[in-house]
């Protein structure tokens, strides 16, 4: 009922609106009040969380946008080769990492807030495998600087450092105490997970850059003196990795048939361990332990094996199994124990599922308390107990002890460095210290990267190698290191893209300030915050994205009856069509993907597409500020969070 004039005139408590009734109830009506923001749109590039979560710092959004067709390659370059170039700017191992990286990028993917993460690993494998099939090579590196760097270690970190240094113009020599390059890729992971043809191709592509020499079967500190290396080279990078494993810290843990997971896998990958034992127990819960038990199930055992050729003697390097044993092997009983419950194991969930499918028994939430020895001092059983974590440390629960019979115990509970002969670099924990720029403190000209700093992921070692190479470059050129960006990754560079597209700004004349809005020497209306900010899901318009299930890779996982002698690759790569579809699920967080929402929904027609001959990635739309009223609709409907109402008063 309408309010009377008397009530309005004489009842001084009259109120037209109740408390809280100060905003428009209808979203569409707000458009007419939107100009009170006094802000206009600007286009802001931020780092997506997949990239911010990637220890290698890959431009993941960039190469996904290339595969899906959003970012066009230069003339004469295929989508596949262009995506390969972008991917390998940070990481020269797309085939390997697409297979074995645990993918923290996928954990951080904003698509998880819609339905499921983008299968970044699967698209990366497609890129890497295509590069090998098509024989892609790296573009010609910079001219040689005349400087030479010694790299100690030919694993992922050492090879990545050599690659990045050569791109900067510096030659290198890789010292490694193995017969072949590859480190953990070759000696720490089974070949059915890192197929050797793809691994060899990715290593050879790095060596083909030229001026990267190798000195194999050579250990610095034993075969070559550190002092000689320091005199011969302009800088040294220590990329030793961690080649020793921790023994079980329980009574009897030093029995001869108690071996480390690192040495077990190395013996298998060298081809000298052909069979294992009847009853194998692996203590772990991480990726290494999964590889151990999967290999043990594939190798099987031989009941009539000579005692002199027991697995511990082969793993210790004293003898090698005859290849003929493979024909006589039988299935082995393999058990994996973990301190953590199934959902908290650090191994990838699908790897745990595969191990169970292959016939591995997994005991969760338990810890070893004693290795029971036979009359010869060999392990015959492992006494276990349920455990609780108290202050981060496992504690056995009294009265829950039980025994697992065993012929071989494999400890996969951690790794350490082998610094024999390099004691001056040992920080007391079997590792080498590093400062913020990956220099060795107190050792001028010495740098370090990878697991020898702290054992972590392969992608972490590769990312450290990239930053380490930057630091070496500064050192060799007598430059100041400066402050590393908060988000220290390989970013999309709009200026580089404009130059690649023939759209680079004109030369800028100093002092041109007034009337600069018409200047062709400036990139207008754009801000790059990628070095400082990661864009979160709450800044996106998630309602734009439809439910789209992942295109998952196929896999060949043998059953417990089929696993014996099954060494074929498990991962089936995506087809080109599947890779394009999966890349299309990327939400391009922090970068325009040309959806046209801002153009369509702008009530003032202020937002418009730039002319086709001026268009490139990152420069698809612009704003006519004479028409803009600051209604913020464009920012509200931008799926990628690329638009900020932040340009200021107008």
Which tens digits make up the pLDDT trace of 474-513?
999 999 988 888 998 999 999 999 999 898 888 877 665 6
| CB-neighbour burial class of residue 236 (10 A; exposed 0-12, middle 13-18, buried 19+) | buried
C-alpha distances out from residue 411 to 5, 265, 292, 314, 635, Å: 89, 12, 10, 16, 54
Spatial distance between the Cα atoms of 289 and 337, rounded to a whole number of angstroms: 9
Q: What is the DSSP letter of 140?
A: P
* Domain span(s) for CATH 3.30.70.20 in the chain: 25-46+493-529+590-650
Does domain 25-46+493-529+590-650 fall into CATH 3.30.930.10?
no
Spatial distance between the Cα atoms of 219 and 130, rounded to a whole number of angstroms: 35
Q: What is the mean pLDDT of residues 443-453?
A: 97
pLDDT averaged over every residue in the chain: 90
Q: Give yes or no for residue 131 having a pLDDT over 50.
A: yes
Which tens digits make up the pLDDT trace of 188-200?
999 999 999 999 9
Copy the structure tokens of residue 197.
Answer: 């043809």
Asked whether the CA dihedral 345, 586, 96, 239 is positive or negative, the reply is negative
301 φ, ψ to 5°?
-140, 165
Q: What is the mean pLDDT of residues 145-170?
A: 98
Q: Is the pTM here over 0.85, yes or no?
A: yes
What pLDDT, on a 0 to 100 scale, did the predictor assign at position 10? 47
What pLDDT, on a 0 to 100 scale, did the predictor assign at position 307? 79
Which tens digits make up the pLDDT trace of 198-242?
999 999 999 999 999 999 999 999 999 999 999 999 999 999 999
Q: Which residue has the tokens 């020895």?
A: 373
Q: Which residue has the tokens 């339905």?
A: 115
* Domain span(s) for CATH 3.50.50.60 in the chain: 148-244+417-476, 245-411
Angle among Cα 479, 480, 485 to the nearest 5 degrees reads 120
Which tens digits make up the pLDDT trace of 47-72?
999 999 999 999 999 999 999 999 99
Does domain 245-411 fall into CATH 3.50.50.60?
yes
- CATH number for 148-244+417-476 (one of 3.50.50.60, 3.40.50.11890, 3.40.640.10, 2.40.50.140): it is 3.50.50.60
Which tens digits make up the pLDDT trace of 572-607?
999 999 999 999 999 999 999 999 999 999 999 999
Q: Give yes or no for residue 118 having a pLDDT over 50.
A: yes
């Amino acid at each position: 009922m309408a309010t009377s004039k008397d009530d309005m005139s004489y009842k001084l408590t009259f109120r037209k609106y109740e408390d809280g009734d100060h905003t428009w109830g209808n979203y569409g009506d707000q458009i007419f009040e939107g100009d009170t923001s006094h802000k206009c749109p600007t286009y802001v590039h931020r780092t997506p969380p997949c990239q911010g979560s990637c220890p290698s710092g890959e431009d993941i959004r960039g190469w996904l946008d290339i595969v899906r067709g959003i970012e066009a390659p230069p003339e004469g370059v295929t989508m596949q080769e262009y995506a390969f170039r972008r991917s390998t700017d940070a990481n020269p191992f797309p085939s390997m990492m697409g297979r074995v990286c645990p993918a923290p990028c996928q954990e951080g993917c904003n698509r998880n807030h819609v339905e499921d993460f983008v299968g970044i690993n699967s698209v990366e494998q497609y890129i890497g495998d295509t590069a090998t099939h098509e024989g892609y090579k790296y573009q010609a590196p910079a001219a040689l600087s005349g400087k030479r760097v010694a790299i100690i270690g030919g694993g992922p970190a050492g090879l990545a450092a050599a690659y990045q240094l050569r791109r900067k113009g510096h030659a290198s020599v890789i010292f490694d105490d193995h017969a072949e390059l590859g480190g953990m890729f070759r000696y720490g992971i089974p070949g059915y997970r890192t197929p050797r043809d793809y691994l060899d191709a990715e290593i050879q592509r790095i060596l083909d850059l030229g001026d990267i020499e190798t000195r194999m079967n050579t250990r610095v500190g034993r075969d070559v003196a550190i002092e000689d290396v320091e005199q011969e080279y302009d800088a040294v990078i220590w990329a030793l990795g961690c080649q020793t494993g921790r023994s079980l810290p329980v009574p009897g843990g030093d029995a001869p048939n108690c071996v480390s997971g690192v040495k077990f896998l190395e013996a298998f990958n060298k081809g000298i361990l052909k069979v294992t034992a009847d009853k194998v127990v692996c203590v772990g819960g991480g990726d290494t332990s999964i590889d151990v038990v999967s290999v043990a199930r594939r190798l099987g055992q031989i009941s009539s094996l000579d005692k002199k050729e027991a697995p511990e003697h082969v793993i210790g390097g004293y003898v090698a199994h005859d290849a003929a044993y493979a024909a006589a092997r039988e299935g082995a009983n393999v058990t994996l124990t973990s301190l953590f419950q199934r959902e908290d194991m650090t191994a990838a969930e699908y790897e745990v599922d595969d191990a169970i499918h292959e016939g591995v028994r997994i005991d969760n939430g338990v810890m070893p308390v004693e290795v029971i020895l036979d009359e010869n001092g060999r392990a015959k059983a492992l006494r276990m107990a349920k455990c609780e974590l108290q202050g981060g440390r496992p504690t056995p629960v009294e009265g829950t002890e039980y025994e697992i019979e065993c012929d071989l115990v494999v400890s996969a509970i951690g790794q350490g460095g082998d610094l024999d002969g390099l004691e001056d670099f040992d920080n007391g924990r079997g590792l080498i210290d590093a400062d913020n720029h990956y220099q060795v403190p107190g050792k001028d000209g010495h740098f370090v990267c990878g697991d020898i700093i702290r054992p972590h992921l392969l992608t972490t070692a590769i990312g450290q190698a990239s930053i380490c190479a930057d630091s070496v470059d500064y050192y060799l050129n007598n430059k100041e290191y400066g402050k590393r960006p908060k988000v220290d990754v390989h970013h999309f560079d709009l200026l580089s893209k404009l130059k690649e597209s023939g759209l680079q700004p004109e030369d800028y004349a100093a002092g041109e300030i007034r009337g600069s809005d018409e200047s062709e020497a400036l990139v207008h209306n754009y801000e790059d915050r990628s070095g400082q900010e990661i864009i979160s899901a709450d800044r996106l318009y998630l309602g734009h994205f439809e439910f789209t299930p992942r295109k998952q890779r196929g896999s060949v996982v043998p059953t417990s009856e089929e696993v014996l002698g099954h060494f074929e690759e498990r991962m089936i790569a995506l087809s080109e069509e599947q890779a394009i579809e999966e890349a299309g699920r990327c939400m391009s967080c922090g970068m325009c993907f040309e959806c046209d929402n801002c153009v369509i929904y702008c009530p003032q027609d202020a937002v418009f597409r730039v002319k086709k001959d001026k268009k490139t990635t990152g420069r698809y739309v612009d704003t006519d500020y004479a028409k803009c009223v600051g209604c913020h609709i464009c920012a509200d409907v931008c799926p990628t969070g690329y638009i900020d109402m932040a340009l200021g008063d107008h």
